[in-house]
Structure 1
Amino acid sequence: MDIENRINKWIESYDRNSYLIGSILIASNENILLNKGFGMANREHNVPNMPTTKFRIGSLTKAFTAMGILQLHEKKKLNINDYVGKYLHDYPNGERITILHCLTNSSGIPNYTSFADFWFSSMRLPLTLNELIDTFKERELDFEPGSRFGYSNSGYALLTSIIETVSGMSYGEYIQEEICNPLGMYNTGCDDGIKVVPRLASGYSFWEEPIHPAYADLSFPLGSYGVYSTTEDLFIWDKALKLFKILNKELTEKMFTPNFSSYACGWMISEIGGKKCVHHSGDISGFCSDFLRFVDDQVTIIFLSNMNVTPVEHLSREIAKTIFEEQSSLPCPAVPIPFKKVVPIVGKYPFENEKDKCLDISVEKEELYLTVSKMYGAVYKFKLLPVSHDSTKATFITEMINEQLVFYYSLTGEIESVQYIDCTGNNQMMNKAK
């Protein structure tokens, strides 16, 4: 089976269950093999996702910020080995933290999105860039700058400020004028949450059905996670990076040189499936994304989603397996069968090695639902569809994401255990709480 047929088979198996939400672009040897939208860009107005749909790309933004800094280095307007205090004069520890430390997430600056009040309060409030920096600048460093890796959106907020200080432009203007417009990426920009962006998807979460995500103010994500784009524009970006169109070869190679924990400058460099991959993922308020660049193999996979529970990182890697002729998983078809023995299944099934986490199975109108926490501890609720049943076990799959639960009966008809295969392929046996 050739590569396009393998991809189409994989796509069809997931799409028939409505497990793909967003836009996917797959390319090999600069040829686009798939460029397609799935699901709804806007559910209120029944607008479908298309290859031209714009998505907030979260931390894929960091690659644009890194590019901006390195362009300014190339133009000798700054030096990446300079201390940040040279440009941000009142910043505490500014004489200890270099621009390169911020680029490689080795600055030791506490990550503001990890603060206890961020998800419940701070992310909903408008902030200027300076006000954002004030929320973390007086905090003690997590470690000595340059000594190890520590992911920090705060470091990228400082880089945003340095770009604005040195260039004399706002971050959004800089990205537009120095990166996007020269490359013809006219569907990419910085989203401030105020200006109307044509063809921008709405972000969603899930609780029994698609819902609106928790509100996030977009005044301050900027160079940390504030850019929107399309799969097609990101493919232009991919090709421009290979051809050194807006940054010389030496600095581009510097940008892709791993530091601690495989993190380079706005990109991760690691092996995926035994092959070198330049990659990054992102998420922001109902959106999630993944960008895989197998540069040596000339394969690019871009998956942008506007459903925050879509496991884009896992799915993009499954696509990579399909391309490279490795075995990848395919979901069971969502063809429900009649099932009435719901009561024995209802209950809580604790995770063995994760305290206070469980599968909570409930029943509503004779239909079963799974409630379970996912990334960042956020809790989601999915309808369970029965797909097979006999005297020893009953198998269910979930709506929206590819999860499977196999409940095993005792000789007396009670549930003894459940096999839970989650949307990332993790497989574990769990016992019902008594």
Structure 2
Amino acid sequence: MRTEERIEKWIERYEENGYLNGSILIAANGNILLNKGFGMANWEHAVPNKPTTKFRIGSLTKAFTAMGIFQLHEEGRLNVDDCVGKYLPDFPNGDKMTIYHCLTSTTGIPNYTSFPDFWSKTMRLPMTLNQLIDSFKHLELNFEPGSKFEYSSSGYALLTAILEKVSAMSFAAYIQSKICLPLGMNNTGCDNGVDIIPDLASGYAFWEKPIHAAYADLSFPLGAYGIYSTTEDLFLWDQALKSTQLLSEELMGKMFTPNFSSYASGWVVSDILGRKCMHHFGDISGFCSNFFRFVDEEVTIIFLSNMNFTPVTHLMREMAKVIFDEEVTLPLPIQPIDFTDTELIVGKYMTEDDESKILKITSKNGEIYLTVAKTYGILYKFKLLPVSHDASKTTFLTEMVNEQLSFYYSSSGEVESVEYKDFHDNRYIAYKD
């Protein structure tokens, strides 16, 4: 079976089940094999996602910021080994940390998005870049700069300030004129949350149905996670990264070389399915995304989603298996059957290996729901659809995302245990509390 046919078959099953939300582009050897939108860009107005839909790309932004800094290095306007203090003289410990430490998340500065009140409060409030930097500049370093890796958006806030100071341009204007325009990336830019951006998707969470994601003020993400783009524009970006159009080969090599761990400058370089892959995950207020670049095989997978629980990384690994003709398991088709013993299975279930993984099964208006925590411990509530039933077991699939619950019965007809398979293919055994 040809690669395109294998991809089509995989996509078809996931799409039939309603398990894909966003836009996906797959390319091999410079040729696009799949370029398609799934689900809704805007549920309120029933606008579907398309290949031209714009998404907030979260931390995929960091690669653009890194490119800007390396371009300024190539022009001799800064050096990546310069101390931060040379450009931000009042920054504490600025003489200890370099621009390169910021690029590779090795500064030791605590990550401001991990502060206790960030998700509940700070991310919703407007801030200038200077105010953002002030929020972490006096904190104690987590480690000596350059001694180890710890992922941090704080370093990328500093890089944004340095880029703006050295270039005498705003971050948005720099990215536009020095990266997007030369590459013809006309659907990419920095989202300030004020300007109306045509074809920009809305970001969603889920509780029985799509709901609005928590609001995030966009005055300060900037070079850490503030860019929007399309899969098609990011493919132009991918192709440019194989050339010297934006940067010399030597500096491109340095930019793609990990410092500590597997983190390079705005890219992670690691093995996926036994192949070298440059990749990065991004998420911001209802959006999540990932970008895989299998450089030796010349395979690129880009998945931008506006449904925040979408397991983009797992799904992309599955897509990569399909492309490389490795074994992949398709989800069961959703073909609901009648099931009336709802009271039998309703209750709270605790998993045996992970006490924090609690499954809450409830019923409402004749429907059955699963409430479970996902990324960052956020709770989601999905409808359960019964697909098979006999005296020993009932199996349900979840709506919207590929999860499966099998309730096993004792000889007396009570629920003995539940096998829960989550959307990362992790399996848990749970018992009624």
TM-score (norm 1): 0.99
1:44-77 deviations in Å (ceiling 9; x for gaps): 1111111000000000000000000000000010
Name the counterpart of 2:332.
Answer: 332
Aligned equivalents of 2:225, 2:327: Cα separation in 1:
33
Alignment check: 8 A CA contact 2:353 2:428 kept: no
1:143 aligns with 2:143: yes
Aligned equivalents of 2:422, 2:309: Cα separation in 1:
12
Shift of 1:179: 0.5
Matching residue's letter, 2:275: K
Aligned equivalents of 2:54, 2:333: Cα separation in 1:
30
Name the counterpart of 1:27.
Answer: 27
Shift of 1:227: 0.2
Name the counterpart of 1:160.
Answer: 160
Mapping 1:192-231, distance limit 5 Å: 192-231=192-231
* DSSP 3-state at the match of 1:135: helix
Matching residue's letter, 1:274: G
Name the counterpart of 1:397.
Answer: 397
* DSSP 3-state at the match of 2:197: coil
Name the counterpart of 2:354.
Answer: 354
Aligned equivalents of 1:329, 1:96: Cα separation in 2:
50
Name the counterpart of 1:100.
Answer: 100
Aligned equivalents of 2:261, 2:197: Cα separation in 1:
36
Aligned equivalents of 2:74, 2:138: Cα separation in 1:
31
1:323 aligns with 2:318: no
Mapping 1:294-305, distance limit 5 Å: 294-305=294-305
Aligned equivalents of 1:332, 1:419: Cα separation in 2:
15
Aligned equivalents of 1:244, 1:399: Cα separation in 2:
45
Shift of 1:234: 0.3
Aligned equivalents of 1:165, 1:193: Cα separation in 2:
23
Name the counterpart of 1:183.
Answer: 183
Matching residue's letter, 1:414: E
Aligned equivalents of 1:269, 1:248: Cα separation in 2:
19
Shift of 1:167: 0.3
Aligned equivalents of 1:51, 1:27: Cα separation in 2:
13
Aligned equivalents of 2:328, 2:99: Cα separation in 1:
41
Matching residue's letter, 2:391: S
Aligned equivalents of 1:80, 1:386: Cα separation in 2:
57
Mapping 1:67-82, distance limit 5 Å: 67-82=67-82
* DSSP 3-state at the match of 1:261: coil
* DSSP 3-state at the match of 2:400: coil
* DSSP 3-state at the match of 2:163: helix
1:125 aligns with 2:125: yes
* DSSP 3-state at the match of 2:360: strand
Shift of 1:334: 1.0
1:65 aligns with 2:60: no
Alignment check: 8 A CA contact 2:61 2:223 kept: yes
Shift of 1:344: 1.4
Aligned equivalents of 1:128, 1:350: Cα separation in 2:
44
Shift of 1:356: 3.8
1:354-412 deviations in Å (ceiling 9; x for gaps): 34430011111222100000000110000000000011000000001000000100000
1:420 aligns with 2:385: no
Mapping 1:355-374, distance limit 5 Å: 355-374=355-374
Matching residue's letter, 1:89: P
Aligned equivalents of 1:76, 1:304: Cα separation in 2:
35
Aligned equivalents of 2:175, 2:262: Cα separation in 1:
25
Shift of 1:348: 1.0
1:177-227 deviations in Å (ceiling 9; x for gaps): 100001110100000000111110001110000000010000000000000
Shift of 1:292: 0.2
Aligned equivalents of 2:97, 2:347: Cα separation in 1:
51
Aligned equivalents of 2:31, 2:257: Cα separation in 1:
27
* DSSP 3-state at the match of 1:260: coil
Aligned equivalents of 1:25, 1:411: Cα separation in 2:
50
Shift of 1:351: 2.6
Name the counterpart of 1:411.
Answer: 411
Matching residue's letter, 1:59: S
* DSSP 3-state at the match of 2:44: coil
Matching residue's letter, 1:322: V
Q: What RMSD over aligned residues (CA atoms) do the two structures have, in Å?
A: 0.7
Name the counterpart of 2:283.
Answer: 283
Aligned equivalents of 2:47, 2:126: Cα separation in 1:
29
* DSSP 3-state at the match of 1:202: coil
Matching residue's letter, 1:209: K
Alignment check: 8 A CA contact 2:310 2:401 kept: yes
Aligned equivalents of 1:361, 1:149: Cα separation in 2:
40
- Long gaps (5+) in structure 1: none
Aligned equivalents of 1:282, 1:206: Cα separation in 2:
19
Aligned equivalents of 2:217, 2:313: Cα separation in 1:
25
Shift of 1:330: 1.0
Aligned equivalents of 1:244, 1:103: Cα separation in 2:
20
Matching residue's letter, 1:121: K
Matching residue's letter, 1:6: R
Name the counterpart of 1:265.
Answer: 265
Aligned equivalents of 1:237, 1:407: Cα separation in 2:
47
Matching residue's letter, 1:241: L
> Number of aligned pairs?
433
* DSSP 3-state at the match of 1:64: helix
Alignment check: 8 A CA contact 2:352 2:428 kept: no
Aligned equivalents of 1:367, 1:418: Cα separation in 2:
19
Aligned equivalents of 1:104, 1:353: Cα separation in 2:
35
Shift of 1:154: 0.4
Aligned equivalents of 2:391, 2:14: Cα separation in 1:
29
Shift of 1:176: 0.2
